[in-house]
Chains A and B, each alone.
Chain A
Amino acid sequence: MNPLPRQRSKAYGTLLQNYEVRPDAADELFAAPGQMRPVWDAFIAQLGRLSPDEVAVHFARGDQYLRDAGVFYRRYSADPQQERDWPLSHIPVILHEREWIDLCAGLSQRAELLEKVVSDLYGPADLVRNGHLPAELVARNPEWLRPLVGIAPASGHFLHFLAFEIGRSPDGSWLVLGDRTQAPSGAGFALENRMATSRIFPDPFPRANLRRLAGFFRSFRDAMDRLPGAEGRRTAVLTPGPGNDAYFEHTYIARYLGLALLEGEDLIVQNGNVQVRTVSGPQPVGVLWRRLDAAYADPLELDETSQIGTPGLVDAIRQSNVNMVNALGSGILETRALMAFLPKIAQELLGTPLALPNIATWWCGQESEKAYVKANAERIFVGEALSGALPFDIGQRASAGGDAFGPDGQPLEEWIEAQGQFLVGQEAVTLSTTPVWEGDRLRPRPMTIRVFAARTPGGWTFLPGGYARIGQSGEATALSMQQGGAVADVWVMRDAPAPEETLFEKGSFRRPDMGTLPSRAADNLYWLGRYIERTEGAIRLLRAYHLRLAETGKADLPRIERIAKLLAALGLDVSLPIAATLQPPLAAARVSAGKIRDRFSVDGWAALADLTSSLEAMAPDLQAGDDTVRAMGVLLRKITGFNGFVHENMHHAAGWRFLNFGRALERADGAAAVLGVFAGEDVAAGLPDLALEYGDSRITHQHRYRIDPTRDTVTDLLALDAGNPRAILFQVITMRQIAEELPRARVNGRLTDVLRVLLPLETDLAVADPGMITSERLAELRERLTQVSTHLSSAYLV
C-alpha cells in the first residue's frame, strides 16, 4: 500500500514507493496513512529532488568524514582490538521541538525521581522498609555497592549525567524503555553523527531551523566546573581504557570538552585526595566524569579482581574529596525490575504519576504478576530481573514475545515458576518506524532514541538531539548495534531559525594546562617515539641490504652473507618476510599511540594507520632485492610523513618532548649499535658505507670528506658531529636540551638523574676523536643510554 495520495507521491519521485508502514506500528514520517508529519516536509522535498546517484554522493561525504575522523566502535569479540566502522544510517530522525519539549519535561521529572530513589537506596532505605520495593531486588543486585551505603555524595547529588532510551508506542505516545545511570555512552557519538549529517545534508538543506548541540555540552562542562571543590582542581574523564567498546567516544568527548582523559592507573589517592600522576608530580582532581562501571573503580573496596581501578577511590569519596559523575553505585537504577515499581514510587515520592510512562513491567517474584506474565506470555518479553539490558536486547536468558520456551528449553511456564524472583516480563511493544535509505528509496525500520540529560544549577538540561538506533529488518528485536543495527542522527526542528551555539562563551577560551601531562600518557608518547624510530632504523638497514642484493643479484656472495650476519647481530633476520620483521616494532608503536588517542590529532593517527596498512598490504612474496628496495622506499616516505606531522603540527608541549626524547634516544642507540657492527676496526671495505646509508649521510660525507668512507670518517660523521641530525652527539644534545625543559629539571640547583648522565656523555663525545670510538666505547655508551631511559622513567613516567 502506498501511503501517499497519488498526486503527492509524484512530487517525491520514487522516494516513497514501497514505504509501507506496518498497520500495528506508529511511524515517524507519517502520522497516519497519507499524512506526512509536517516537520519532515522540507527534508523529504529536498531529498526527492536528488537523483539516486546524487544521494549516493551526499552519503559518501558523511562516510568519508567518519572514516577521516577515525570514528569507530569496538565490538567485543575474541580480538579485543577489532574496530568497526561506524554504522551510520544517513537519514536523520526528525522531531518537532514542541514534541521534544514535552518529552524533556517528562524525562526531567523522571531524572528527579531517580535521584530520590538512589539517595534512598544508599541512605535510609525507606522504600524497602515501607514495602515500595522488595528488599531482595536491592540486596541481590550486583550494582548495589555496599561500601557506598551511607556515603552522601560531595555535590549533594548522585546523578549528573543521564541517558534515557525511549521509543514510540503504536498509539503515538512515547515510552521510556530503559534508564542509563551508570556511565551513559553515546553523547559523543551523537556529536559525531551530527558532524557527518551536516556534511551529507549541507546548506541549502533545511538546516537553519535545526537545534544545535554545542550549548548542551557547554552547560554540562560548566556545571561540572562548578561542583564543590572543583575549582583549582582538574575535571577529567575516567575511562576503562582502549579495550572498551566506546573508547573512541571517550577520547572524542574529552578532547571536545577540553578535559583530561584518565585511566584508573593515572590516579593515586593520598591523604584522601584524588590526584593524577603527571610529569610535574601529583596534581589534584576535583571531578571525575566516570565512564567505567563502578565495580571496577576500586580494587580495594569493590571488585578485587579489577585491573583498571584506583585503590582508595572509595576512601576519597567517603571523605567527600572528589565528585563522581555519576556517583559510584548509581548503576542500580538501570535494573529492569525497578520499572515495575517506579509508577507507584513516583506517587509516593513525588506525589504525582509519571508524566512519561515507562514500558509496562512485571516482576515475577510476586504471585499475581507471575500469573499475569504466564497468561500473557505471547505479548511479553521475559528476561533477567536484575539486568539493565533493554527489553529488545535479547540476551542469553530472555524469551522474546511469543517464544514459549525458556533458555534451557523448558516450557516458559516452568521457567517462570522456578526462577520467578529473577525474572521480569516487559510488554513487547511494537516500536515506531523511521525512514532508512535502502537501495534507491526509503523504507520504514524500527527505532529507539537515546536522549541525554545533564544536571545544571538551573535544573536538568537536555541534548536537543541524541542518537537513534535503527533495526536492520522490520523486527523490533534487531536494534542492537552489537547485532548489526545502525545509528542515526536525531534532528529537533523549530519553526524559526535556531540560534548558533558555541562551546565557549564568545571572546573567552580555556587554555589547557600543558604542565600536567599524565605520567602514563608521557610513557606512551616516549615509547611511541622509540618504536617509530626503531621501525625506521630497521627499514633503512633492510633497504641497504636489499640494495646490495639487487646490485649483485646473489644472496650467497660472501660480502652479502657477511652483511646478513651483521644484521642478525642487530636482531634483523633477512630471511624472514619483511612484514614479519617490521610488524613487531610498528605494532608496538600503534599500541602506544592507541593508548593516547586523545592527545593525537586525527591526522597523526591517520598517518600511523596509513603506515600500518601499507605494511600489511605488502605482498608476502615480495621479491628480495629491487622490489623490496622500492617497498622500503615507500615505507620510509610514510614514516617521514608521520615524523613531519609530529614536528610541524604537534604542539611543543610536554607530550611532544617525551615523544622526541624517545626518538632521540632510540636514534642515538641505533647509531651506536650500527657503528659498533659496521665500523669496527676489522670490517671489510664497503661496510662503513652501509652505516652511512643507515644514517642517511652519504651526500654529506661526499661533500665533507671527498674520499671514500673509512672507519674514521664514518665515525666522525655518525657519532661526533654535533650538526648532523643522524649523529649520536646531535641526539645526546637534543636529549639534554629536552631534559632541561622538563618539569623539576633542577630542584634547588640540583640536577635530575637524567641530566647527571646526559651532561658527561655529551662532554665525552664532544671532546672525543674518531679513533677513540671503539666498539667497547660504543657498547659502554649504549649502557649509559639505558641508564638515561631508566632515570627518565622513574622521574617522570611512573
Chain B
Amino acid sequence: MQYDIKLTIGYVYGAPSDHARTLVRLLPTDVVGRQIVRSRLLTVTPRPDERREAHDFFGNAMCTMVFHAPIDRIELTLRASAERLQQAEGLDLSPDLPGLAREIAADRRLDGTAPHHFIGPSVRVPVVPEIEAFARAQVALGMTTLQVVERIGRALHAEMRFETGATDVNTPTAEAFANRHGVCQDFTHIMIAALRALGVPAGYVSGFLRTHPPPGQPRLEGADAMHAWVMAWCGAEMGWVEFDPSNCCQVYQDHITIAFGRDYSDIAPVKGVLRTSGAQDSHHSVDVIPLDG
C-alpha cells in the first residue's frame, strides 16, 4: 500500500525564545520487510541557523535545529511518501514465557533492536504494581508469547476508554491506568508496562494511521493525529511483532512507522528546550492518503 503523508506541527511562544534548540524525530525510515520510504522532506519555518541530521541509538532519523536569533514560533511540515509491504499472518512460532526468558538470556546483542533494552523500566514506563497484577490475571500457563501479547492488547482495549483530552503528554502511566482512559500514548505505555511485567520485551512505536478507512470499515482511533502503538519481542524466531492497543489489532498495512524506542521519551517527535519560560500554543494536523486504495 502506497501513502502520501502530510504533517504540520506548529508552536507559538508567548515570549520570544532565546537560542532555541529543537530535536525532531519526524522522518519515517525504511523498516526491513515492512516499509519502504520513497521520499521525505521536512521543512522548517523560520529557517534554522543550524540543521544537522543523524541517526539515534535505535536507528531513527533525528534532526537537530538551532535558531541563533530569538524566535516566537516554529512550524514543521513533513511531506513523505511511503509504501507498506504486504505481510502474511504467519504461524505462531513464539516460545512460552519461560522459553522466552531463556532466549533473552542467551541473546548477546546490544544493538538497537536487541530485546534487552526493552525489558526493564524506562522513564515513562515505571513499574506499576496495578498494571502488573492486571497483566498476570490475563495469562495462563503454556500460552505462547504471541498469544500473551494479543491477550494483553485485547484485555486493555476492553478495559480502557479511548478519550481525547482526558490525559496529556505528561500524564503518568499509572494515573492513566487508574482512570482507565487515555489516548494512544497512554494505551501504548500501559501495554508496554504490562508486557514487561510478564518478561516480554516491549517498546514504543510512533507513526501515522491512514486518515480514512477502506470502504465499509470504521475510521481508526487516532487517525487525526500522530499515532503510537506497541512492539513486542516474541522470541528469536518471530522477532518483533507490532500491536495497536488503541485499535486492538496487529499492525500491518494501515500504519506507517516513524520511530521506535523504549517509550515516548526516547522518540518524542519534537523536543525543544527554550531558555525563556512563558505560555506556548501548539497545533498539529496529519493527512495520510492511500494512493492505490
Is there contact, CB below 8 Å, between B110 and A135? yes
Given A147-B57, A300-B273 in contact, is the A312-B66 Cβ separation under 8 Å? yes
Query: Nearest Cβ in chain B — how far from A329, in angstroms?
Result: 12
Q: A146-B57, A300-B21, A300-B23 are known contacts. Are A128 and B68 too (CB-CB below 8 A)? A: no
The segment from A52-60, A136-144, A553-561, A763-771 that touches chain B is A136-144
Q: Does A125 have its Cβ within 8 Å of any Cβ on chain B?
A: yes
Q: Which residues of chain B are within 8 angstroms of A318 by Cβ–Cβ distance?
A: 54
Query: Who on chain B is nearest to A306 by CB?
Result: B273
Contact A269 B110 (CB under 8 A): no
Q: Chain A: interface secondary structure?
A: loop
Residue B117 interfacial (CB < 8 Å): yes
A131 and B54: CB pair below 8 A?
A: no
Does A798 count as interface, using CB distance less than 8 angstroms? yes
Known contacts A269-B21, A312-B66; A129/B108 CB under 8 A: yes
Contact pattern, B 95-113, Cβ under 8 Å of A = 1, otherwise 0: 0000000001101111000
CA distance A128 to B18 in the complex (A): 44
The CA of A135 and the CA of B111, in the complex, are separated in Å by 10
CB < 8 Å: which of B66, B109, B119 contacts A270? B66
Do B18 and A798 touch (CB < 8 A)?
yes
Does chain B have a CB within 8 A of A92? no
| Residue contact B57 to A139, C-beta cutoff 8 Å | no
Residue A547 CB within 8 A of the other chain:
no
Query: Number of residue pairs across A and B with beta carbons under 8 Å?
Result: 69
Identify B116's interface contact among A131, A135, A299, A312, CB under 8 A.
A135
CB distance B19 to A268 under 8 Å?
A: yes
In the complex with contacts A139-B117, A268-B19, A300-B273, A128-B108 CB distance below 8 A:
yes
Q: Which B residues, 84 to 143, have Cβ-Cβ distances below 8 Å to chain A?
A: 104-105, 107-110, 114, 116-117, 119-120, 123
Q: Does B271 sit at the interface, judged by CB under 8 A? A: yes
Query: CA of A136 to CA of B115 in the docked complex: distance in angstroms?
Result: 9
Does B265 have its Cβ within 8 Å of any Cβ on chain A? Answer: yes
Asked if B254 CB lies within 8 Å of chain A CBs, one says no
Asked if B109 and A129 sit within 8 Å, CB to CB, the answer is yes
- Asked if B273 and A311 sit within 8 Å, CB to CB, the answer is yes
Q: A140-B116, A270-B66 are in contact. Are A304 and B123 (CB under 8 A)?
A: yes
Separation of A539 and B50 alpha carbons in the complex (Å): 53
Knowing A128-B108, A147-B56, say if A136 contacts B119 (CB, 8 Å): yes
0/1 interface trace, chain A 124-166, chain B, CB 8 Å (1 if under): 0100111100111011100000110110000000000000000
- Is there contact, CB below 8 Å, between A135 and B108? yes
Partner of A125, one of B104, B110, B120, B265: B110
B105 to A: closest C-beta gap in Å: 8
Chain B residue contacts of A268, Cβ below 8 A: 19
Residues of A contacting B110 with CB < 8 Å? 125, 128-129, 135, 138-139
Q: Could you tell me which residues of chain B, from 11 to 57, have a CB within 8 Å of some CB in chain A?
A: 18-19, 21, 23, 50, 52, 54, 56-57
CA separation between A271 and B50, bound complex, in Å?
A: 7
- Give bound CA distance, A299 to B66, whole Å: 15
Q: Mark A309-330, 1 if CB is under 8 A from B, else 0.
A: 0011001001000000000000
Give CA–CA (A129, B52) in the complex, Å.
32
- Decide if B116 touches A139 in the complex (CB within 8 Å): yes
A315 touches B52 (CB 8 A): yes
Q: Which residues of A contact B104 (CB under 8 A)?
A: 136
Is B77 interfacial (CB 8 A cutoff)?
no
Report how far A270 CA is from B64 CA in the complex, Å: 12
> Does A301 make an interface contact (CB < 8 A)?
yes
Chain A 585-620: CB-based contact to B (< 8 A → 1; otherwise 0): 000000000000000000000000000000000000
Contact A315 B64 (CB under 8 A): yes
Q: Are B116 and A136 in contact (CB under 8 A)?
A: yes
B18 to A140, Cβ gap below 8 A? no
Give the shortest distance, in Å, between A348 (CB) and chain B (any CB). 15
- The residues of A that contact B66 with a CB separation of less than 8 Å are 269-270, 312
Distance from B16 Cβ to chain A, minimum over Cβ atoms (Å): 12
Name B273's contact: one of A147, A150, A299 (CB within 8 Å). Answer: A299
Asked if A135 meets B114 with Cβ closer than 8 Å, knowing A299-B273, A301-B23, A312-B66, the reply is yes
B114-A139 in contact (CB<8A): yes
Interface residue count for A (Cβ, 8 Å)? 29
Q: Residue of B at shortest CB range from A136?
A: B116
Contact across chains for A131 and B68 when beta carbons are under 8 A apart: no
Chain A nearest CB, measured from B15 CB (Å)? 13
In angstroms, Cα B62 to Cα A318, docked, is: 13
Chain B residue numbers with a CB within 8 Å of A125 are 110
What residue of chain A has the Cβ atom nearest to residue B50's Cβ?
Answer: A271
- Whether B271 lies near A304 (C-beta < 8 A) is yes
Specify the chain A residue showing the minimal Cβ separation from B23: A300
Rounded to whole Å, the gap between the CB of A790 and the closest CB of chain B is: 14
Complex interface bits, A269-290 against B, C-beta within 8 A gives 1, otherwise 0: 1111000000000000000000
CB atoms of B107 and A135 under 8 A apart? yes
B104 smallest CB distance to A (angstroms): 8
Report the minimum CB–CB distance from B236 to chain A (whole Å): 14
- Asked whether, in the complex, the Cβ of B21 is within 8 Å of the Cβ of A311, the reply is yes
CA distance A315 to B56 in the complex (A): 11
By a CB distance below 8 angstroms, the chain A residues around B266 are 146
Chain B residue, CB-CB nearest to A282: B19
CA distance A272 to B54 in the complex (A): 14
Query: Chain A residue with minimal CB distance to B275?
Result: A798
Q: Is the CB of A140 within 8 A of B120?
A: yes
Q: How far is the CB of A296 from chain B (nearest CB, A)?
A: 13
A254-272 contact mask (Cβ, 8 Å, vs B): 1 or 0: 0000000000000011111
User: Closest Cβ of chain A: how far from B97's Cβ, in Å?
Assistant: 16
| Chain B: minimal CB distance from A67 (Å) | 39
Q: Which of chain B's residues have a CB closer than 8 A to the CB of A798?
A: 18
Residues of B within 8 A of A140 (CB): 116, 119-120
Bound: A304/B270 CA distance, A: 12
- Smallest CB gap from A265: residue in B: B275
CB 8 Å contact bits of B174-195 with A (1 = contact, 0 = none): 0000000000000000000000
Closest partner residue, chain B, to A271 (CB atom): B50
Residues of A within 8 A of B58 (CB): 146
| Chain A residues with CB below 8 A from B23, complex form | 300-301
A609 and B108 CA atoms in complex are apart in Å by 58
Cβ contacts A183-203/B at 8 Å (1 or 0 each):
000000000000000000000
Distance to closest chain A CB from B273 (angstroms): 4
Query: Which residue on chain B has the smallest CB distance to residue A311?
Result: B273
Residues of B within 8 A of A128 (CB): 108-110
Shortest C-beta distance, A344 to chain B (Å), equals: 16
A130 to B: closest C-beta gap in Å: 8
Which residues of the partner chain B approach A147 to less than 8 Å between Cβ atoms? 56-57
List residues of chain B with CB within 8 A of the CB of A301: 23
Q: How far is the CA of A125 from the CA of B108 in the complex (A)?
A: 9
A140-B119, A300-B271 are known contacts. Are A131 and B108 too (CB-CB below 8 A)?
yes
Report B-chain residues with C-beta under 8 Å of the C-beta of A311. 21, 273
Question: CA separation between A300 and B57, bound complex, in Å?
Answer: 14
Bound complex: CA of A301 vs CA of B64, how far in Å?
11
Q: Which residues of A contact B64 (CB under 8 A)?
A: 312, 315
Residue of B nearest to A135 (CB): B116
Closest residue of chain B to A310, judged by CB? B273
**Interface residue ranges, B against A (CB under 8 Å):** 18-19, 21, 23, 50, 52, 54, 56-58, 64, 66, 68, 104-105, 107-110, 114, 116-117, 119-120, 123, 265-266, 271, 273
Those 6 A-B pairs whose CB atoms lie nearest each other, nearest first: A139-B116, A146-B57, A311-B273, A140-B120, A125-B110, A135-B116
List residues of chain A with CB under 8 Å of any chain B CB.
125, 128-131, 134-136, 138-140, 146-147, 149-150, 268-272, 299-301, 304, 311-312, 315, 318, 798
13 A–B contacts from the bound complex (CB under 8 Å): A128-B109, A129-B110, A131-B108, A135-B107, A136-B119, A139-B114, A139-B119, A140-B120, A147-B56, A300-B21, A301-B23, A311-B273, A315-B64
Starting from the known contacts A147-B57, A318-B54, A798-B18, 17 additional A-B residue pairs (CB-CB under 8 Å) come to A131-B108, A136-B104, A136-B120, A139-B120, A146-B56, A146-B117, A146-B266, A269-B21, A270-B19, A271-B50, A272-B52, A300-B21, A300-B271, A301-B23, A304-B123, A304-B271, A312-B64
